[in-house]
Amino acid sequence: MQQGFIDLRQNQEAGNSAEHFWPSFTDIMTVIVMIFMLASVVLVIRNWELLENLKQSIQAERDASEGLRFKSEENATLEEQLAQTQYQLSMLNMQLMQAEELAAQQAGTLKSLEGDKRQLQENLTAANDHLLRQQAQLRQASEAFAELQQQYQAQSRRIEGLQDQVTGLEAENRRQSDRINTLLEEDSHNSEQLAALQGEYGVLKKKYDKLVKPARTPKGKYVVEVRYRKQNGKYKIQFRNQADKQLSSVSRNTLDRKLAELKKAHPNKLYIKIIIPADSGLSYAEAWDFMKSVLEKYDYYYQD
């Protein structure tokens, strides 16, 4: 109860939970309903007072009639009694007419107030429905927001865990990098030592091969003869197979093809006798390059 009036508002808890949506509208509707109730009470009281006045008037009429009966005995003439009675009846009729007019006005006012009451109730119902929808949407939004907060907290924890892992991995990566750099330095040093040892091993192997490996000999081998010279600025190659009696001029491609065929036909038994004439016209480098390329590629002695 507030200020002597009963609080007629419905869904007070729902209204309190959604004060930020319809605080003013609900208060206005409550005041209008209270005004309507007060007006209805006033009209009922006025009607009751008019009815009481009417009853009193009727009772007064009865009393007047009774008094008139007694006065008729006292008064000398019937005219005076009739005039008095007519006057009272006129007054009662005027009061009755006034009461009827007031009742008609009150009935119209009451009808208008009932229409306003129905309209206000419809508006209040629509407002309550809208408020309920807004509250449902608010609950859904709150649930969605709570779910998003949970997801955000989970993601935050996951990110923190990943950051810790990244920090650990970065530290491990730095340790591994330092270790790799150390290993690379050691590997570089070992590579240099290995290269030096390989160089020494190669030299020693060549010396050992020269000491152990038998001398190159055509004995038991398939012998072919190749002559190489330079004439008029052009290189000239002559080739003779073991079965041939004379030399034949060939190009370098033809020579390579024949030697490849003989190497395949006589594996590890092809002996190539290269002859550089004294008047070949070749320089030492030209003669050495030719001999080295042919022997290392086809001669049995230079094959692994």
Give me the half-sphere count of Cα atoms (radius 13 Å) on the Cβ side of residue 29.
Answer: 21
- Record the pTM: 0.34
What pLDDT is attached to residue 106? 82
What pLDDT is attached to residue 1? 44
What pLDDT is attached to residue 20? 52
As a whole number of angstroms, the distance between CA 118 and CA 189 comes to 102
What pLDDT is attached to residue 274? 94
Exposed, middle or buried by CB within 10 Å (0-12, 13-18, 19+), for 110? middle
As a whole number of angstroms, the distance between CA 42 and CA 206 comes to 135
Is residue 229 a contact partner of residue 282, using CB atoms and an 8 Å limit? yes
Among 293, 298, 162, residue whose Cα is nearest residue 235? 293
As a whole number of angstroms, the distance between CA 3 and CA 16 comes to 20
What pLDDT is attached to residue 182? 82
- Per-residue pLDDT 10s for the chain (304 aa) are 445 555 555 555 555 555 555 567 777 888 888 888 888 888 888 888 888 888 888 888 787 777 777 766 666 566 666 767 777 777 777 788 887 888 888 888 888 888 888 888 888 888 788 888 888 888 888 888 888 888 888 888 888 888 888 788 888 878 887 888 887 777 676 667 666 666 666 666 666 565 556 778 899 999 999 999 998 889 999 999 988 889 999 999 999 999 999 999 999 999 999 999 989 899 999 999 999 999 999 999 988 6
Residue 271's contacts (CB-CB under 8 Å, 6 or more residues apart) are 216, 217, 218, 221, 222, 223, 224, 299, 300, 301
Length of the chain: 304
What pLDDT is attached to residue 262? 94
* SS3 of the chain: CECCECCCCCCHHHHHHCCCCCHHHHHHHHHHHHHHHHHHHHHHHHHHHHHHHHHHHHHHHHHHHHHHHHHHHHCCCHHHHHHHHHHHHHHHHHHHHHHHHHHHHHHHHHHHHHHHHHHHHHHHHHHHHHHHHHHHHHHHHHHHHHHHHHHHHHHHHHHHHHHHHHHHHHHHHHHHHHHHHHHHHHHHHHHHHHHHHHHHHHHHHHHHHHHHCCCCCCCCCEEEEEEEEEECCEEEEEEECCCCCCCEEECHHHHHHHHHHHHHHCCCCEEEEEECCCCCCCCHHHHHHHHHHHHHHHCHHHCC
What pLDDT is attached to residue 208? 56
